[in-house]
Amino acid sequence: MTSIKNNEGVRLVQVSPDHAGQRLDNFLSGQLKGVPRSAVYRMIRTGQVRINGGRARPASRLAGGDTVRIPPAQIRGERSTAVSERVREQLRQAVLYEDADLLVVDKPAGMAVHAGSGLPWGLIDALRQDRPGEYLELVHRLDRETSGCLVLARNGPALAHLSARFREGTVRKYYLCLMSGRMPEAVIKVDAPLARRRNDPEGRVEVDETGKPSCTRFRLLQALGDYSYVEAELLTGRTHQIRAHARYLGLPLAGDPKYADRKSLRDCRKLGLNRIFLHAHRLAVDSPAGEDLEFEAPLPDTLRRVLDTLER
């Protein structure tokens, strides 16, 4: 990867084949280590970061040979990104699968995948500190509140291959969730476009005919009083897709602070639920080596106890 710096401190970085297929925001976080994630997004949003001279979005995918314009940025002290041994050990125990191309971890609820929005570090930072010198890049994301299967690439070709599979929608993703209310049918497929709410500081999305195509299949596993224990299959991969589609059905996810109402949240706390009931429990993808791989993360004990309470 070549880098040229001008008199104003701007760098022009040529993307190497190892980073082909990577999202622009993740690439910048690697180039600007220690810079807050919020600052990275601001640089992209204001047009300071460009790909081949043109404006881009955080989710823009890079190709080998692209030239990325990177402005100078204020870097935080290294001390602020230090991750404790306890957290690193927690992630060692959370590894579900590992080979030469990919690493799959059972992401804990409450842990962001990357730094930003006031968070000095994320899961990717913790793993890189625990594995110094290793190539590790996020292939996709999970919301901070969501637990379960998260895939990381361990080399450039693997990143390009896996990113393409997620982008093409060929990765099969299944989540376990608890919906507030009774599902009227055993299987409900929601095919409804989603768009970000305007001027919403919470970053919520809603069904909007002008939005991006979004499709989720909900399958009832167990009716539990006024709740439905459900497996949700993501047929597309939009931000907050399951959460917004559940809300659209009038069945918001239990414990969801962004899409459920206050009464629902109070009722969930009485059940001992202090987080959103959403867990990425199963994921299937074809590996760079041509194998069909499937991973499964067990339901966390905190969520299992909620189900046990409802079954009594």
Catalytic residue annotation: 143
Question: Please, which residues bridge with residue 217 across strands?
Answer: 189, 233
Alpha-helical runs (H) found in 139-239: 156-168
What whole-number distance in Å separates Cα of residue 222 and Cα of residue 234?
Answer: 19
What whole-number distance in Å separates Cα of residue 12 and Cα of residue 202?
Answer: 34
Bin 24: left if φ > 0, else alpha if -120 < ψ < 50, else beta: alpha
3-state secondary structure of 241: helix
Q: Give the DSSP per-residue string, 257-279.
A: TTTS-HHHHHHHHHTT--S--EE
Residue among 40, 34, 171 at smallest CA distance from 102 = 171
What whole-number distance in Å separates Cα of residue 62 and Cα of residue 23?
Answer: 6
Q: Enter the tokens of residue 113.
A: 């995948």
In sequence order, what E strands does the chain have? 3-5, 11-14, 50-51, 54-55, 67-70, 95-98, 102-107, 137-138, 147-153, 172-180, 187-191, 194-196, 205-207, 215-224, 227-234, 278-286, 292-296
Residue among 212, 148, 204, 205 at smallest CA distance from 177 = 148
Q: Enter the tokens of residue 170.
A: 């060929």
Q: Enter the tokens of residue 40.
A: 């990275």
Q: Enter the tokens of residue 88.
A: 């690193």
